[in-house]
């Protein structure tokens, strides 16, 4: 069997941020469903000379529109995957001496594309749930969680300027309607705006959901001054 046939993953560097890696996994489907090998120590060592050890696994569930991040845990790298649903996953270079300091990359991870995103130490991480039924996200981490060293950055920081798929203007929007008839509740009806048959590609939604903690993170520029 050739090396290419044996390999079950393909690992590619992100352009302009080569320390970030996108992992494509081989899917083995049959009449029962499918099987995917999500991590293989031997293949990672051969393709990346990867010598780190994963010490903690995490699993989160987020409903539609939730934005988690941006979080950084010094000393921790993360391998992020999605079991079901879809997210926009983002990594930001927060290494002060890096030539790409403050740059970010985002990628769609889903339960159907079977991609994973390797985010090494020195990057802040965050994601936004894009799927109507929510998303189950897993992380393999190279260190255990430490609340004393973790810090956060405002996910809407203007210096970083992540282009989140679901977002509102900071001050909201005032909309007016001029109508050709008066309102009649007896004839009005509604349609699910997320109806899958219609499949409207909404650029924004009317609500971004953030935890209180994520709302109060400091700006990126505040950390730059340290």
- The catalytic site residues sit at 71, 139
Beta-sheet pairing, 9-14 with 67-72: unpaired
Phi/psi of residue 195, nearest 5 degrees: -55, 125
CB 23 within 8 A of CB 10: yes
d(CA 53, CA 80): 15
d(CA 28, CA 197): 29
- 166: tokens are 């679901």
Which helix or strand (DSSP H or E) is residue 41 part of? helix 41-48
Burial of residue 54, with CB atoms counted within 10 A of its CB: 0-12 exposed, 13-18 middle, 19 or more buried: middle
Rg (CA), the chain: 21
Which helix or strand (DSSP H or E) is residue 35 part of? strand 33-36
CB 139 within 8 A of CB 42: no
DSSP state of 66: B
């Amino acid at each position: 069997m050739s090396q290419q046939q044996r390999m079950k993953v393909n690992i590619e560097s992100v352009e302009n941020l080569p320390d970030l890696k996108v992992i494509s996994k081989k899917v083995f489907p049959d009449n029962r469903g499918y099987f995917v090998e999500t991590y293989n120590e031997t293949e990672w060592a051969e393709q990346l000379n990867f010598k780190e050890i994963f010490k903690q696994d995490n699993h989160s569930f987020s409903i539609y529109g939730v934005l988690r991040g941006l979080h950084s845990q010094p000393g921790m790298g993360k391998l992020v995957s999605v079991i079901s649903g879809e997210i926009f996953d983002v990594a930001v270079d927060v290494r002060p001496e890096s030539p790409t300091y403050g740059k970010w990359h985002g990628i769609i991870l889903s339960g159907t594309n079977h991609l994973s995103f390797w985010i090494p130490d020195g990057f802040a991480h965050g994601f936004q749930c894009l799927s109507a039924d929510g998303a189950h996200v897993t992380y393999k981490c190279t260190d255990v969680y430490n609340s004393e060293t973790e810090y956060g950055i405002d996910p809407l920081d203007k210096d970083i300027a992540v282009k989140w798929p679901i977002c509102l203007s900071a001050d909201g929007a005032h909309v007016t309607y001029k109508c050709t008839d008066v309102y009649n509740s007896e004839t009005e009806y509604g349609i699910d705006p997320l109806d899958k048959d219609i499949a409207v590609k909404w650029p924004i939604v009317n609500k971004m959901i953030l935890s209180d903690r994520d709302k109060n993170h400091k700006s990126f520029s505040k950390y730059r001054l340290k």
